[in-house]
Structure 1
Amino acid sequence: MMNSGLLRLHDAIGCLLGAVRRAASISFVIAAAPGLLTVCGAMPTAAQAKPSISQYDQPKYPADFTHFDYANPDAPANGSLSFENYSELQTYDSLNPFLVRGAPAPDVLNLMFDTLMQRSWDELASEYPLIADDVEVAPDLTSATFHINPAARFSNGDPITAADVKYSYDTLTSPQASPLFNAQFSIIKNATVIDRSTIRFDFKHAERDAPLIAGDLPIFSPKWGMQPNGKRLPFDQISSMAPISSGAYLIESRKNDKQITYRRNPDYWAANLPSRRGMFRFERITFNLYRDHYTQLEAFKAGDADVIVEYSATQWARKYVGKNFDNGLLKKGEFADGPAQMQGMLMNMRKPMFQDPRVRHALTLALDYDWMNRMMFYGQYRRTNSYFEASPFGATGMPGQKELALLEPLRGSVPPEVFGPMLKQPDTIPPNSLRGNLRVARDLLAQAGWHYRDGALRDANGTPMTIEIMDDQPGMDRLILPYMQALDMLGIQAHMREIDSALYEKRLDNFEYDMTTFIYPPVTIPGAELTRRFGSAAASEVGSENYTGIRSKAVDSLIHSALSATNLDDLEAATRALDRVLIYSFYLVPEYYAPGARIGYKTTLGFPKTVPNSYQYEDWVIDYWYVKAPGAQATQKLQAAQSASSTTATAH
């Protein structure tokens, strides 16, 4: 339902299997005990540099790979893409995506800022050369040293140096940048320039994903923000000045706060790297931002936009019709996806009324998902039962032995239900019903000290329970209103407040809300984002992702177990145990997810035959789709016309 352009953050003592610097594609693997590290079966005396790294096992692609399987290196590299709202933002007022204030220009981070290394989209966690052409991971995993490709350049022609990488790291972890980036790179203790092309990141402690986190660092020039007088603006004041790009695109033009056009840099140095071949095929990409989804869809149907990612089941089922669908100009496509997002209605536990888990549990019982899916979603959605839905990291059934080994020391500080079967969200399929669920909710509220009297649900002091449900999406009202009606049956006075996206982001960053629907983007492998989303330290950081305000030593302990896991089995046990605790703590009202991407597009666009295992829908289109060659377009139009003619003849 909610368009999400949100960041995707996928998060090593190990076994270094491999060859020499820039010679082979090798992974680092944590051995059974810290310090046990092998290279081709022998104990190494020093780390070796490698062009690619993997958190587990070996990278999928060898050293001599030419392109990712989900890229088409032969795709035409011309034409333009007209895109609509990249995210839920309806306007933008900043060209700096690293600040806590302001709404950044659509997809500016992806299009204009390359990272040290490139994550692949069809592996759990592997990275390949980009700005860095190799990385040397210390045997004890306390540091990673990156060598910068001598050909790497900023858009102004300056070579990218180790000093530029250090400047980027120091800036993003300073108070001038959003705390989200400081949290993302919190595992890094410091960055040290070794020479012009070499930089070492030292880590606060050994974690197998730490080198990959360092590889995720976006790089920007110290000259960005430089004024004619030679003085550089403070980083948090750089908002209207175009970035000096390290990525594939430049800003060509802007039209107020609702339109921006990017132009592919003809001198982009990395265009033929294996990690970039078949990528960024559009010469120009234009974003037009609309105030509401209805206008977005109508613009697409009229041919004013080339593609639209649809998050509304109703729109997808009923509105993607018209002459341009009939004549073959437009088409609907459904594409498989990997791990599912966690979408739910967050409860802000900084508010006293949400601090009792029985109250939170009661609120989850008031959502009639089955009725919504049947009456409004055309059966297109599935119920969310896990924070790691459709993933091997989510809990199911009874906890296994490894899960119990992690949970037993926490007994007494976690819900006792975590030692039993994993919770299945309440349904209203007969013989179950919403009314039955509400009776259970009423009893839970009474146990927590909330009783119905004088026309409202009140606490011991007579204060009524009132909840403001905040949102910035016009279409969400048809889902929130039935939920509010169910709450009203419990005596809870709920009301919806719809605000513009800029104010919504500000209130979200400052935790100024009671409840709101939010999406935690999926990750292929859980890692550092667990700390940002659920760690106690993040609960008091303005702009952090711990929106619910979780402060739990048990949750912190399980996050630590996940981050220090030495193999996939241990990681799965830790995340499944964490999943049980999060679900049984009722921090949000789980909603639903779509099993894949729904994308409407012009048939003049093409896409690779192989779909990635896990991807952000918008960036898959922007990064890997292309405009078909004129000959291919003509052939397709002829086939469409022949098909239409044949259908007409048959009808007659």
Structure 2
Amino acid sequence: MARPLLPLLLLLALLAPLPLPAGQQTNGIAHGIAHGIAMHGDPALPPDFTALPYVNPAAPKGGTIRQAVTGSFDSLHPHIVKGVPALGTGYVFETLLTRSWDEPFSLYGLLADRVEVADDRSSVTFHIDGRARWHDGTPVTADDVLFSLEVQRQHGTPNRRLFYAKVTEATAPDPQTVRFAFAAAPKDGPEGGIDREMPLLMGLMPIHSKAFWSGRDFSRTTLEPILGSGPYRVAAVDPGRRIVYERVPGYWGRDLPTRVGQFNADRLEFDYYRDDSVALEAFKAGQGDVRYESDPAKWATGYDGPALRDGRIVREELPNRRPEPARGLIANTRRPLFADVRVRRALGMAADFDWIGRSLFHGLLTRTASYYPNSELAARGLPAGEELRALEPFRDRLPPDLFTRPFVLPAGGGPAGLRANRRDALRLLEEAGWRVRDGRLTDAAGNRFAFEILLSNPADERVALEFARSLEPLGIAARVRTVDSAQFQARLDRFDFDMTMRWWASTLSPGNEQLYYYGSEAAGQEGSRNLAGIRDPVVDALARSIAAAATRAELVGRVRALDRVLLWGHYMVPLFHSPVDRVARWSRLHRPDVTPLYGPMIETWWVE
């Protein structure tokens, strides 16, 4: 399935640091209030930089960038659980700080031009840029920030409610300053103490206008354009079919060093299609300017035509160094059918994924064997160093093989190898209480092993149907059902599915969101990303410890430990990922020569 090129987060500005009161320090930066902060160490960019390293400062402004995308939408409000927000809403809103996508996790000022962090990270203070304005021309103030915290604590997405619950005090010393203090977890392990990630997470909190929301219900979906402070605003909406954004005249942040060379198009248009093959044809017909292709079959055979042959369409494979999404067939362990790890492991042995990779994906994808594939965060070999130190306290609660055998996916080996894998799968199923009787896998009460695989994208049906067919020799009946995107999201939010094809995405600096993905508390929160329903105290402790890591080496070791425990839990049947970004664009659309660590960013592209 192709996905749109959207901003990961909006990028920002740096201003010169100011003096600190005596005795204060911020994140290792001496002599002043910081121009930015990093999760570990200091930010890479100096206070006097003039542009991000991956932009063209001389990029011309103007024109329109169009994208043909799949799905639908019913809301312009991306910061609540309800509804399916339109693509591109992130261009409307801003945060106090924003990321440089050429560093694992460093933030620099956006709405806030200066930041100071307590030496132990127990508090953070943001100084709002006096130039920051809402689209109606009114200033962004500390009251807006405090309002944003309160409404997102009450009505925000589950991950934000989880993060912001750690704020113990929020004050506004003056209209342009806001300070947050954080609670410390009990220091009974590596996850105890102050959560070192919280100052950065508060910097990434979306800021809303208190005045705009007066008399409106923040918790409800809406198709009314919401007042923002970002570089674009909504210009036109055709619900579920089309949305258009226009660049804000006189946008307050246009001259900031981390805005230079970005947000160059005057208009952004997203046209929605129900079928991705139709969206591809629309792109080839010139109804879209850029397309991110994640379907290798389409990349290999779907772009041929006059526009490609004469150079009007340009295809590029751009390497990146970020973790790719961990995509797989995720089992809902809330269902008794998938509660036993032996059952989940057996399901992963049934299909010939070597054949699927060659036949369906033209050999262009790599089989995923990590929750952080394509990165240094992936567990490999046997645990050692910081990873082993993170795992050691839980040795008696983990499978012994986790410490003595590298995790490997079932080997291929053609028909003979597949038959051997299925024999092993039947053995595991029998150990879990299942038997094949008259060609049907049943439990002791005679109930058949049968379940549904829920999808939203018809392009995913090929893999799901092949997987379902591979289960038939085990006596398992798997039915594939594809529903529209709104129904799909609603069922995921309620955890109303047996198995689904989905993914978890992480950055190079994972943190609190790992509890939102895999934590026990999130397993019971509707709308969370713990789709598998994981409830494991070891996973909770490891996920919680990541944000408390004091060094990069500690973080990498703890993430690898979490990765290994999740892999041995067999919560998903891993599928595939791409080691490169495959992007097609019409030749009138240009990009900078440098691609950042996290991959191409359309915010830096321009139209000629």
- TM-based fold match above 0.5: yes
One of 72, 75, 87 as aligned partner of 1:91 = 72
Aligned-residue sequence identity (percent) comes to 37
Aligned to 1:118: 98
One of 205, 208, 219 as aligned partner of 1:217 = 205
Farther-moved stretch of structure 1 (399-408 vs 348-357): 399-408
Is 1:590 matched up with 2:574?
A: yes
Aligned to 2:403: 419
Mapping of residues 375-524 of structure 1, within 5 Å: 375-429=359-413, 433-524=417-508
Aligned to 1:15: none
**In structure 2, what is the Cα distance between the partners aligned to 1:342 and 1:594?**
11
Aligned to 1:261: 244
- Whether the 8 Å CA contact 1:180–1:543 is kept in 2: the answer is no
Aligned to 2:222: 239
Aligned to 1:203: 182
Following superposition, the deviation at residue 356 of structure 1 comes to 0.5
One of 146, 161, 184 as aligned partner of 1:182 = 161
**In structure 1, what is the Cα distance between the partners aligned to 2:351 and 2:150?**
45
1:402 match: secondary structure: helix
- Whether the 8 Å CA contact 1:223–1:244 is kept in 2: the answer is no
- Whether the 8 Å CA contact 2:167–2:183 is kept in 1: the answer is yes
Farther-moved stretch of structure 1 (452-461 vs 577-586): 452-461
Is 1:317 matched up with 2:292?
A: no
- Whether the 8 Å CA contact 1:396–1:421 is kept in 2: the answer is no
Aligned to 1:157: 137
What letter corresponds to residue 407 of structure 2 in structure 1?
L
One of 125, 145, 151 as aligned partner of 1:145 = 125
- Whether the 8 Å CA contact 1:51–1:128 is kept in 2: the answer is yes
One of 44, 54, 61 as aligned partner of 1:77 = 61
| Residues 89-139 of structure 1, C-alpha deviations (whole Å, 9 max, x = no match) | x2111111112111111120x210011111010101101111000111012
1:524 match: secondary structure: coil
Unaligned segments of structure 1, at least 5 residues: 11-17, 30-37, 41-46, 227-231, 629-652
Is 1:273 matched up with 2:252?
A: no
**In structure 2, what is the Cα distance between the partners aligned to 1:344 and 1:118?**
30
What letter corresponds to residue 343 of structure 2 in structure 1?
V
Following superposition, the deviation at residue 571 of structure 1 comes to 1.4
- Whether the 8 Å CA contact 1:129–1:275 is kept in 2: the answer is no
Aligned to 2:191: none
What letter corresponds to residue 217 of structure 1 in structure 2?
M
Is 1:53 matched up with 2:37?
A: yes
Aligned-CA RMSD value = 2.2
Following superposition, the deviation at residue 7 of structure 1 comes to 9.1
1:237 match: secondary structure: coil
2:44 match: secondary structure: coil
**In structure 2, what is the Cα distance between the partners aligned to 1:315 and 1:450?**
40
What letter corresponds to residue 474 of structure 1 in structure 2?
P
What letter corresponds to residue 84 of structure 2 in structure 1?
A
Is 1:132 matched up with 2:117?
A: no
> Using a 3 Å threshold, how does the CA distance of structure 1 residues 150 and 282 change in structure 2: closer, same or farther?
same
Mapping of residues 340-355 of structure 1, within 5 Å: 340-355=324-339
- Whether the 8 Å CA contact 1:83–1:306 is kept in 2: the answer is yes
**In structure 1, what is the Cα distance between the partners aligned to 2:9 and 2:195?**
16
**In structure 1, what is the Cα distance between the partners aligned to 2:389 and 2:291?**
47
> Using a 3 Å threshold, how does the CA distance of structure 1 residues 508 and 480 change in structure 2: closer, same or farther?
same
What letter corresponds to residue 345 of structure 1 in structure 2?
L
Q: TM-score normalized by structure 2?
A: 0.93
2:98 match: secondary structure: strand
> Using a 3 Å threshold, how does the CA distance of structure 1 residues 6 and 479 change in structure 2: closer, same or farther?
farther
**In structure 2, what is the Cα distance between the partners aligned to 1:5 and 1:263?**
17
| Residues 13-33 of structure 1, C-alpha deviations (whole Å, 9 max, x = no match) | xxxxx974499xx9955xxxx
Following superposition, the deviation at residue 347 of structure 1 comes to 0.4
Mapping of residues 543-558 of structure 1, within 5 Å: 543-558=527-542
Following superposition, the deviation at residue 348 of structure 1 comes to 0.2
Following superposition, the deviation at residue 475 of structure 1 comes to 1.1
- Whether the 8 Å CA contact 1:28–1:57 is kept in 2: the answer is no
**In structure 1, what is the Cα distance between the partners aligned to 2:245 and 2:269?**
6
**In structure 1, what is the Cα distance between the partners aligned to 2:164 and 2:6?**
18
What letter corresponds to residue 199 of structure 2 in structure 1?
P
What letter corresponds to residue 113 of structure 1 in structure 2?
F
Following superposition, the deviation at residue 141 of structure 1 comes to 1.2
| Residues 351-377 of structure 1, C-alpha deviations (whole Å, 9 max, x = no match) | 001110000000111232210111111
Following superposition, the deviation at residue 558 of structure 1 comes to 1.1
Q: TM-score normalized by structure 1?
A: 0.87
2:348 match: secondary structure: helix
What letter corresponds to residue 313 of structure 2 in structure 1?
L
Following superposition, the deviation at residue 575 of structure 1 comes to 1.2
> Using a 3 Å threshold, how does the CA distance of structure 1 residues 563 and 432 change in structure 2: closer, same or farther?
farther
**In structure 1, what is the Cα distance between the partners aligned to 2:6 and 2:567?**
23
2:82 match: secondary structure: coil
Farther-moved stretch of structure 1 (521-530 vs 583-592): 521-530
> Using a 3 Å threshold, how does the CA distance of structure 1 residues 507 and 431 change in structure 2: closer, same or farther?
closer
Following superposition, the deviation at residue 386 of structure 1 comes to 0.8
Following superposition, the deviation at residue 208 of structure 1 comes to 2.1
- Whether the 8 Å CA contact 1:279–1:624 is kept in 2: the answer is yes
- Whether the 8 Å CA contact 2:2–2:276 is kept in 1: the answer is no
| Residues 58-89 of structure 1, C-alpha deviations (whole Å, 9 max, x = no match) | 2111001111111111101111111122xx5x
Following superposition, the deviation at residue 2 of structure 1 comes to 6.3
Following superposition, the deviation at residue 184 of structure 1 comes to 4.1
> Using a 3 Å threshold, how does the CA distance of structure 1 residues 549 and 399 change in structure 2: closer, same or farther?
same
**In structure 2, what is the Cα distance between the partners aligned to 1:529 and 1:465?**
33
Is 1:252 matched up with 2:231?
A: no
The runs of at least 4 aligned residues of structure 1 exceeding 6 Å deviation read 4-7
Q: How many residues align?
A: 591
> Using a 3 Å threshold, how does the CA distance of structure 1 residues 526 and 53 change in structure 2: closer, same or farther?
same
Farther-moved stretch of structure 1 (51-60 vs 495-504): 51-60
1:173 match: secondary structure: helix
Following superposition, the deviation at residue 179 of structure 1 comes to 2.0
- Whether the 8 Å CA contact 1:8–1:521 is kept in 2: the answer is no
> Using a 3 Å threshold, how does the CA distance of structure 1 residues 304 and 9 change in structure 2: closer, same or farther?
closer
- Whether the 8 Å CA contact 1:20–1:49 is kept in 2: the answer is yes
What letter corresponds to residue 406 of structure 1 in structure 2?
A
What letter corresponds to residue 421 of structure 2 in structure 1?
N
Following superposition, the deviation at residue 416 of structure 1 comes to 1.9
Following superposition, the deviation at residue 224 of structure 1 comes to 2.6
| Residues 224-266 of structure 1, C-alpha deviations (whole Å, 9 max, x = no match) | 345xxxxx12212351221111111111112342111100001
- Whether the 8 Å CA contact 1:7–1:521 is kept in 2: the answer is no
1:598 match: secondary structure: strand
Aligned to 1:639: none
- Whether the 8 Å CA contact 1:2–1:473 is kept in 2: the answer is no
> Using a 3 Å threshold, how does the CA distance of structure 1 residues 609 and 185 change in structure 2: closer, same or farther?
farther
